[in-house]
Structure 1
Amino acid sequence: MNELDDMRLFVRAVAAGSLSAAGRELGFSPAVGSKRLTRLETRLGVRLLQRSSRRLALTDEGALYHERCQAILADIDDAEAELAQGRQQVRGLVRVTATVAMGRRCIGPLAAEFMRRHPEVTVQLSLSDSLVDLIEDGFDCAIRIGGPQDSRLAARTLGPNRRVLCASPAYLKRRGRPRTLEDLAQHECILQERIATRRSEWRFEPRDAGVASGPQAVDVTGRLVTDNGEQAHDWALAGLGLVRRSVWDVVEELDDGRLVELLPEWAGTSAPLQLVFPSRRLLPPRTRLFIDAVARKFESSRDQARILPPAPVVPKKRK
């Protein structure tokens, strides 16, 4: 068991940023922590951390070992958590953050169902299109586009995040339908930016190898600018311009005709949809169960086929 304890110390020191902080969390002095880390490095025959009075830095060997340790310790904790769940009622607070659109459309209804299944659990859902610090702000998990940039966080991929270009029938009747990417320069585009601007660059990737050789960038203009995705969504429904949105955010409107997908042979560049959370070893059973519920929702959703449709087959031009 000493080996496992030393692995826990190593992983905790990386997450906390210092041996002193890791020692306080695990209940021993900095001197004991330093001795145990040295013992681990001696046993492995490599240096895992570069240590100074101010910070710790992983060596290349340390980075590889850290990744494997996280997985091993997570598996052990998973097994213990499963046993604990069978002995006691899951209870407590789960704090979740998501974008406004994702929260209202997906995570909010899921949270309500989760609480019905677990009456001793409380879910606090914070909706914001701004990026929050999970550790500093005390959140248990977040649904984000793209992976974590923080080594203290882990991620679980929920699926691809295809972005679509769309507009309302009223707008298309008034301004016409773009047939090529170049046509976008002649249209009113709804810009989602944090700084007021009338110009932006939209990047697209071909969804069929016969369309183009690679990504394309298009300069677009618009008089409506917002940093809130729901507002951009509402403006598009009101017929005020073209908008780019994640397909899960507009799938209902595309189904019922309130919005029309444009240039389906092109997809807006995007990163995968991921569920981000602090180091798995520290997750209480209630948080682990909530994360599993979110993952199941995206894996088995009846909307999955619509959210992630196959790329359209674009006929090639005859020579």
Structure 2
Amino acid sequence: MKKIVVLGGGTGLSSMLAGMKKIPDAQVTAIVTVADDGGSTGRIRNAYNVPAMGDIRHVLTAMAQTENAGILQQLMNYRFEGQEDVGGHSLGNLIFLAMMDITGSFMGAIESLSRVMGVRGTILPCTLDVATLYALMADGTLVRGEKNIPTRDNAIEHVYYQQDVQPYTQALEALREADLIIYGIGSLYTSVIPNLIIPGIPEAIYDNPCPKIYFCNAMSQPGETDGYSMEDHVRALEKHSFKNPADLVVINDATLPADVLARYAAMGSHPVVSDGSDQSYEVWRRQLTILSDSGRVRHDPEAVRQAVQEILEELD
């Protein structure tokens, strides 16, 4: 059985895992960022001084396999209206907080909810510290907080933590034992890289001789990766970890309708493509995206699963 470790956060990671949980003879471990400080997650984090659970919640629902997985997903993602008391909170976050109190720990909540939801695979935080993400911009501006980073009309120089952040031991063990390590899919600077800037994590990845794969975002993210090419994404990974962090990059090659492209362009977002520069890694072009009911570009879990299975077949 192949051991696959995926690092990331947000809805992109959830889309990947929704497909990857169906891969036969594979043991999937998700290492998830806990740097989110916005919305319901941020309010709970500030009130109770606990790591962010929002991305963990998304991954739990994506990897759920019980007969009632659909209902559980709706419940976990349900958000109360308003802004006072429970208003604005995700029910899943409140359930997670309650489970922390019942079990006595952040990991206890993950493990208990994983059993209840029939999660296939293992979910691990990158750290158990309450870590705050900072970004130094190209003009020298310092931005504090994950939620604030994409809001500035600026270019990100690098992201970092000011305090000492300790890696979660089980996350390091999973990386050392992996047969395949995957970065993404997710916001480059606020979902993927926050895992890589924790001391010990890039070293564990580097020391493992297994293949490292980057699933590149399909669209640029305003305020975060404006104008980025596929190569720029990999350069950012390298800047925050080690030289040649990826052996293979998988990039979306699906054709998007003109009206969808125009709508995204109006928001400052464009398809991520290669700039044609020299690469030290292999590139696979695959049709990875679908359109949601609202016309949003989303990664297709089934297409991601097929790509990962293709990679695994090449390892055999």
Shorter-chain TM range is: under 0.3
Bigger CA radius of gyration: 1
TM-score normalised by structure 1 residue count: 0.22
Give the structure with the higher percent helix. Answer: 1
Give the structure with the higher percent strand. Answer: 1
TM-score normalised by structure 2 residue count: 0.22
